[in-house]
Structures are given as C-alpha cells and as structure tokens.
Amino acid sequence: MLVVKRNGEPQKIAIDKIHKAVEWASKDLDVSLSDIETNAHIQFFDGIKTAQIHTALVNSAASLIDVGKTDYEFAAARLLLQQIYKEVTQDTVYPKLSDYISNAISIEKVKPEMQSFDLDALNSAIDVSRDNLFKYLGMQTVYDRYLLRDQNHKLIEMPQHFWMRVAMGIALNETPENRTKWAIEFYNVLSKFEFISSTPTLFNSGTKFSQMSSCFVTTTDDSIWEEQEGVNFGKGIFATMTECALYSKFAGGIGTDWTRVRCAGSEIKSTNGISSGIIPYLKVFNDTAVGVNQSGKRNGSFAAYLEPWHGDIERFINLKKPNGDERLRAREIFPYIWANDLFMKRVKNRESWSLFCSHKNPELCETYGEEFERAYYAAEGRGEAIKVIDAMELWKGIITALVESGAPLITFKDEHNRRNPQNHVGIIRSSNLCSEISLNTSDDESAVCNLGSINVSVCTQADFPRVIPIAMRMLDNVIDLNFYPTAKSKRSNLKHRPVGLGLMGWTDYIISQGIDWESNEHLRSTDYVFEDFSYWAIKSSVEIAKEKGCYASYEGSKWSKGILPIDTARHLPKEWRHSSVSQEKWEALRFEIKQHGMRNSNCMAIAPTATIANIVGTTPCIEPIYKQVFVKENKSGKFKVVDPAMRHNRLELCKTAFEIDQNWLIKAAAVRQRYVDQSQSVNLFKKANVKGNVISDWYFLAWELGLKSTYYLKQQISELSYQEVIKQDSPQEVIEQDSPPICLINNPDCESCQ
C-alpha cells in the first residue's frame, strides 16, 4: 500500500512507524496496542495521506473509550499530541519558547511586550510532561479552538506554550524585576490544571487583542437616546443596544435590565403619543444578538431582566414561547424575572399583585427590601396601579412558560442587594446571562467581571493557601490589562475591581471522597470546603491590597465596616454545617481588612465551566453528572465520553442530575451562597413526569434558603431527536441527548463564563 507524505511524496506504508507511534502513546497505560492498530487499519486505503493515518489512529483510540477503559482517553490524547507536534515543528521536539514568541510577534499574533520576559528562564520552567495530563476531549478542545494559528490557519502553538502564553499575558503588568517570576507561578497552576482562567482570557491573553473579561452587565434608561458627557455613545435604549453590540463583538456575555423602560400604553409627553412598551425593543435586542455574532462563531449571548411589577410582565414571560404572535416573540435572548420578596410572599399567600409603569413610579426601580415594599404599598395606596392581577396566576404563567420554552429564568432581587458589599454606591439591577454576577450598574457604569475556577479534582483543600492567592492575583491583573469596548465598562471595572473566583470539579471531588449528593454529609462537606475557599479568596485580596492599594470605592462598603459575606448570610440548620475556619481567624481577617482594605469589591462567583472543565478532564463547576456516558461529536467524528467522576469506581454515587432530588441541589447551593459574595449558576433538572407544583416548590425553596440566582431548568424527555422536537407545534420540553445537554430549546452555549 502506498501512502502520501506531508510533503506530497509517495512511499510504501511504514507499519513500524505506526507501531512506534502507538507504542509511545500507550506507554504506562492499560490499553491494547493491537486493538488500536487493528481498528485504524480498517480505515486505510491506497494513496492515504500520512496525516490521515494519524487521524485514523486517534479516532481508533477514541472509539475504544468506555467505562472501565478510560486509559484510552489518554492514549487518544497522546496520539493527537503527536499530530500537534508534527503540525507545528515537523518533529516531536518542542521549539524554544523564544523562537515561538518571535514568530508569533512577527505575524502579529501576540504583543511585542511578550519579549520583555527572561525567555530562557521561562523556557526552562516549561514542563513538557504535563502534556500527558490531557485527556482526549481536553486535547481535542484545545487543538480545535485555543492554540494559536497563523493567517493560513497553520498551527504555531504547542500546548505548554499555550499555557505559558496565557501566563505571560497576565503577568505583563507586574514589575519588570518580578514579571518572569510571576509568569512561572501563573504557568504552574495553569499547566497542572489547578486553576484555569475563563475562555476569553485563554483565547486572548498576550495577544494583540486582549479582551479577557467574561461578563458585562448594563442598564437601560427610559429614553430613545440622549447625549451624555463622558459616555461615547450617550444613554438610552439605542445607546444600550450599541453598547451591547460592542460587548458581543468582543465575545462578552451580557445581562441588561429593562425595568426602567415604560410599559405599553404609557403616555409620551414629548410627542403626545402612547408607548409601545419594551417588547418591540426586545425584538431589536434579539436581532442585535443574532447580527453581532462574534465573527460568525455563534450568536451573541444576551439576557434581559424585568421586575414582576412592570406593566409588560405578562407579555415578557412569553417571549420565548414556540407559538403565538411572532411580533411578541424574541427567541434568541434569555428573559429573566428579577423577583422581589414582596412578589414571592404574595404568591405564597395567594394575594393580588399590582402592576405599575416604571416611568410614573421610578422609585420602584431604585429600591429593594423594606424600602421597596414601603414604596410599593404607597403606590398602591395612591391608586397608581395600571392593572391588578392574581399573584398566583402570574406565577403559574411564569412556571408554565419556563417549562414550555425554557424562560423566563428566575433570580431574586432583594437577596442580591441585601448582601451586596457595594450597596453604598448603587443598586444591583440584574445579573448576567449565566446569573452568577452580582454587581451594581448605572447610567454611568456598566459592570464587568473576569472569571476563573479552582479545580478541586486536583487542587486539594490543603493547596488553597498556595493556589488561591496566585489565582486571585491573575484575576486582578486582568482588570488592568484588559481591553474595554466602552468607557462605561472601563470606568466601572477600574473603580471597583470585582473578580469572580469560581470552582469546578465538585462532583468529581465528592465522589472521590465517597460522599452521596443526597446527604447531610454532602452539605457539611460543602460548608467545610467553601468556608475555606471564601476565607482564602478574601485574604488574598487583602494581601494584594497591601502591595498595590485597595479599590477606589472601598470606603463605606460592607468590607470597610468589617461586614463579610458570612455576616449577611441566612441561618441554615446546624446539621448542614461543618466549619473549617475558626472564629479567631475570621476576626483576624476583619482586622486586616480594616487596616489595609480590599483590592477587589467582589471576590467570588461560581460560573458554569463546561468548556474549561472539558479541557482539564473534570466535572463542570458544582454540577452533578449529566450522563455517565455520552457520545460527543466533533469534526473528527463521534466518540464516547465517560464522565470524569466515573473513574473513582463508585457507581452507586454516580447519580445523574435527573436522578437526584432537586431539593438537595438547592440546599447545597444555599450552603455555598453563605460564602460567595457574588452568586452562582445553579441549574435545576426536571424529569419528564415532574409536575408544575413541584417545580414551583423548588423555586420557593431557593428563595427561602437565600439563593440569589437560579440558572437553566434542564429537561428530560423522550428519545425523539432534537430536530424532531423543534418541528412540533408546541414542544414542551427539551430532549436529553447523547451529547452534552441542550439547554432548553435553542442550546445556548455561553462560553464567556466557561
């Protein structure tokens, strides 16, 4: 059989070379070399290219992945690694870091400042053996999407150079004498999979385009457009559209509140006209998300938030429904209810609920908690309601729309604001698409947050004192190095310096410890780990403040008053608690904060991490197992993925998300929320036969236990294909696939937070 070499020359097939490649990839692994080679040979044909032979070997190893045969994940990864080596160097030897950097600068892929390091020292710090930490899905993900390529799409970056490039980019604002040292520290936690930055940082760190932040949160003013000093495109509805388009262009996930925009039927004095309300504008918002599609990579990720007293709420909750008047639908955005305590209490007590126009009652937009309730009662007393409805009927409409279309999603305004460390300088009006961000917005400031996650499947609690300070420094550095699409976002981020340190690999961790999701032991373990996590995140911010100064709006914050997240948290049952930090340590930390301040207004946010968890081969964020085994498809074909938690051989603990009583997910989230100063992406999972009243109870439990946010309601249905479901007139639920879950109707994949 003849094969065609990479240079185009024909030659006889070299079986010995194939065997050597498989032997190298299989070293110290429990795999069958003959099975890999035999399966690959079936795909050979006369005239096959050597590159195609290698792809066949990769696919062969990947096809053998199964429960109890997870070493094939590493064999397939190593075979793909060989392919990467050959594409970059035509050899199996890593080029020098200085050569890679020089080449990347010459083709304008990275900044010239990347030569300001001691490149020889960094080259010596690179540990090529860490390439073997990748499983196949992780290596394939990095190869397909993260490694830098030239203008002809030729690969120029090796996996360890990728980690070093990210580390160097984040270290650029360190002092020249310490820059190399910090780049090595950053590289070590990244390349050992202890901490991983979010996708925008991995994509763009060190490059000429350095937009590294994950999430942007804006507010919409009740005007078409107004010129505003210091804001490059004014304020108002269409100014917000422009702002969101810029964030989407540069790969940000976006949340925007629309409560201040007057409702349909309201008077417009300037024209003696009548307002058409927020729905027509949300259709433009929807089309902006589609149009500004990140260079054709995917639609924009836009979320729209509305408070339930707004006069347009009844139409808002139906925005994503699969049928009805198309003029009242906007299916590419994600509507959220910004629910207040009073609404939840009136639903619970089956009382009436008054709807208002935000233009006539702007005080309802600017208050929360008891102050909001006083303003609401006063507006009712003055007879200013535009409509009075049954609170329970509105709630039923919300839950019905959520089940039928995946929206509106539900978050809790008062808990966000009650626990806000920054309530002295504003109000939180909404969260972001993934609902883990909890930051103030105003006409002058749009909130920004950059994210990254500790991987507790490899970073143990004993490692927290070493790893978390490095991670927090990396996140803080991004604030100064970041490219900001707007002046409002730059002003806000430099003033308040919020970051969102998260965590992933939780299910991987608890199963390794022999802990059942549905147990008080799980809740106690959550309490134990997350208290320590919170302590070290806060302490790390203080340590950076000692060196670089505290954030500008610190005075008057809860931090400045010695009020920590644990001080504003709900009291939970004692049987859920297991403290890991002594009262003395907390008091000592309070004293340090008062002495030195905080570097960051916010420190923690638990974001979804599906993509970066795939890279490092662990379970996403705090999610349970979705499926024990599923089929993944990419451009190379289909292959099995075994959930990482299955490697611990505790099948009785490897319950899938749909098998777990959702009340345990909510309780665990409540324990975490005690310690997290922002919020968390908490998905719930609905079996096909679960009724609406049960779903309602889940959200009431979340509210009563002090969750700030929930995220998607993921649903399990029949074996119909997704394409068959969406062809139906009224799809009720979203199919459970053999690939990672479709999230309710149109598969949002907000990689900004991952």
Quickly count: other Cβ atoms within 10 Å of residue 596's Cβ: 17
Q: Where are the beta strands (DSSP E) in 401-516?
A: 409-412, 447-455, 499-504
Catalytic residue among 436, 445, 623, 733: 436
The neighbouring-strand residues paired with 632 are 639
* Residue 335 parent element (H or E): strand 334-339
**Half-sphere exposure of residue 543: CA atoms within 13 angstroms, side-chain side:** 14
- Residue among 610, 613, 621, 600 at smallest CA distance from 502: 621
How many Å apart are CA 266 and CA 399, to the nearest integer? 28
Largest Cα span, the chain: 91
Task: Output the six-digit token pair for 281.
Answer: 């504008």
- Residue among 48, 189, 208 at smallest CA distance from 472: 189
3 state DSSP class of 473: helix
Task: Judge whether 550 counts as a catalytic residue.
Answer: no
**pLDDT < 50 regions, the chain:** 718-748
Catalytic residue among 432, 482, 614, 683: 432
Phi, psi of 129 (to 5 degrees): -60, -20
What are the helix and strand counts (H, E) for the chain?
Answer: 27, 19
Is the omega angle on the peptide bond into residue 408 within 30 degrees of 0, that is, cis?
A: yes
The neighbouring-strand residues paired with 713 are 684
| Residues contacting residue 547 through CB under 8 Å, at least 6 positions apart | none
The DSSP-derived string for 260-279 is: TSPPTT-EETTTTEE---SH
Q: Which CATH architecture has domain 215-416?
A: Alpha-Beta Barrel (3.20)
Task: Output the six-digit token pair for 538.
Answer: 């806060």
- On whether the CB atoms of residues 469 and 461 are closer than 8 A, the answer is no
How many Å apart are CA 184 and CA 125, to the nearest integer? 7
Quickly count: other Cβ atoms within 10 Å of residue 11's Cβ: 10
Do the strands 215-219 and 253-257 form a parallel or antiparallel pair, or are they unpaired?
parallel
Sheet holding 10-12, edge to edge: 10-12, 2-4, 48-49
Task: Output the six-digit token pair for 20.
Answer: 């050597």
**Burial of 703 per CB tally in 10 Å (0-12, 13-18, 19+):** buried
- Residue among 479, 472, 476 at smallest CA distance from 536: 472
How many Å apart are CA 88 and CA 84, to the nearest integer? 6
Domain ranges of the chain: 215-416
**Burial of 328 per CB tally in 10 Å (0-12, 13-18, 19+):** middle
Helix axes 279-291, 237-249, angle to 10 degrees: 20
Quickly count: other Cβ atoms within 10 Å of residue 339's Cβ: 22
pLDDT in tens, 349-390: 999 999 999 999 999 999 999 999 999 999 999 999 999 999
- Backbone region of residue 617 per phi and psi (left: phi > 0; alpha: psi in -120 to 50; beta: other values): left
The radius of gyration of the chain from alpha carbons, rounded to an integer in Å, stands at 26
- On whether the CB atoms of residues 140 and 80 are closer than 8 A, the answer is yes
Task: Judge whether 602 counts as a catalytic residue.
Answer: no
- On whether the CB atoms of residues 452 and 478 are closer than 8 A, the answer is no
How many Å apart are CA 297 and CA 575, to the nearest integer? 47
Task: Judge whether 652 counts as a catalytic residue.
Answer: no
How many Å apart are CA 220 and CA 236, to the nearest integer? 6
Catalytic residue among 434, 603, 654, 753: 434
pLDDT in tens, 664-688: 999 999 999 999 999 999 999 999 8
